[in-house]
């Protein structure tokens, strides 16, 4: 939580810029915090503490069709008298079936991790290359030529080396 407060303070320092007359003027850049799936256990507790620490003015809460998997309604992290100062926007699920009912789309942690890996490593390839599965990614990475450095271009520099007192001057030992 100390790191969250430090990031908020750093962001606030960047957000308030000195104006021409020397006073601080507020820029219109929002601080956006994405908390995917922090609705249970320690994730929920961390989210509540983080929201209390940051003190947001606007919160957008995106709900899914399964009510048990949503955060509590309203400004759940504040006391009732403080909740009026928050601009809270709640958005319901956009997924609908043929009967216009909300449909919960399963997102397993394994699949989300896989998508993040694919998105990260796709940066190595041209944008017209179609990489959508882990198998395609593995094949593309295996076909990708490795970065090569000629051995003659490598220079070794010893940092934080100590010579043993009993060692001769021609023998050095490096502790890293």
Q: Are 16 and 26 in contact (CB under 8 A)?
A: yes
Per the prediction, the chain carries an average pLDDT of 74
Mean pLDDT of 137-145: 85
Q: Give, to the nearest 10 degrees, the angle between helix 41-54 and helix 2-15.
A: 40
Q: Cα separation of 133 and 99, whole Å?
A: 32
| Nearest alpha-carbon partner for 142 in 157, 131, 153, 154 | 131
Q: How do residues 36-68 score in pLDDT, each as one tens digit?
A: 667 778 888 888 888 888 777 788 888 777 777
Distances in Å between the alpha carbon of 2 and those of 22, 52, 53, 54, 79? 30, 13, 9, 11, 22
Q: How do residues 99-118 score in pLDDT, each as one tens digit?
A: 766 666 666 777 888 888 88
- Kindly tell me if the per-residue pLDDT of 24 is higher than 70: no
Length of the chain equals 176
Q: Cα separation of 112 and 135, whole Å?
A: 16
User: Coil, strand, or helix at residue 119?
Assistant: helix
Mean pLDDT of 93-97: 67
Domain coordinates of the chain in residue numbers?
A: 1-30, 32-97, 106-146
């Amino acid at each position: 939580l100390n790191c969250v407060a430090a990031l908020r303070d750093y962001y606030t320092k960047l957000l308030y810029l000195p104006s021409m007359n020397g006073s601080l003027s507020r820029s219109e850049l929002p601080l956006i915090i994405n908390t995917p799936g922090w609705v249970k256990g320690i994730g929920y507790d961390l989210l509540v503490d983080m929201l209390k620490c940051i003190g947001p003015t606007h919160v957008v809460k995106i709900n899914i069709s399964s009510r048990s998997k949503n955060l509590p309604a309203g400004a759940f992290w504040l006391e009732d008298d403080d909740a009026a100062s928050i601009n809270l926007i709640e958005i319901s699920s956009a997924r609908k079936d043929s009967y216009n009912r909300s449909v919960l789309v399963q997102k397993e942690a394994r699949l989300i991790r896989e998508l993040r890996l694919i998105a990260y490593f796709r940066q190595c390839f041209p944008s017209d290359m179609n990489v959508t599965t882990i198998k395609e990614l593995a094949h593309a990475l295996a076909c990708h030529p490795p970065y090569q450095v000629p051995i003659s271009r490598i220079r070794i520099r010893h940092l934080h080396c100590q010579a043993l007192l009993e060692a001769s001057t021609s023998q050095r030992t490096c502790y890293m």
